[in-house]
Amino acid sequence: MCVATPMRLVSLSGNEGIVEEGGVSRKVSLALLDSAVIGDYLLIHAGFAIAVVDEEEAMLSLEAIEACADDDAAGA
């Protein structure tokens, strides 16, 4: 199973950007996107931004990921 994580774009340089979420920052390729602007939430998979998503969708995804992590930590 593959999971893409929503992260906020905080800087741009050509076809690369820096994204952050939860205190974690990563350099990612933006080559697969037509456009992205600082502040956008991007779905990140294997070092590539694969889609721009709205903030509401990003927050719902992050909550679901956190719930899964909490279930794993609880031994569910």
- Return the domain boundaries, the chain: 5-73
Fold of 5-73: SH3 type barrels. (2.30.30)
Asked if 42 and 52 touch (Cβ cutoff 8 Å), the reply is yes
Band of pLDDT at residue 18, cut at 50, 70 and 90? very high
Helix (H) or strand (E) holding 69: helix 55-73
pLDDT tens per residue across span 20-76: 998 999 999 999 998 899 999 999 999 999 999 999 999 998 888 888 876 666 675
**C-alpha distances out from residue 45 to 28, 42, 51, 73, Å:** 9, 10, 10, 23
Looking at residue 3, what is its pLDDT? 78
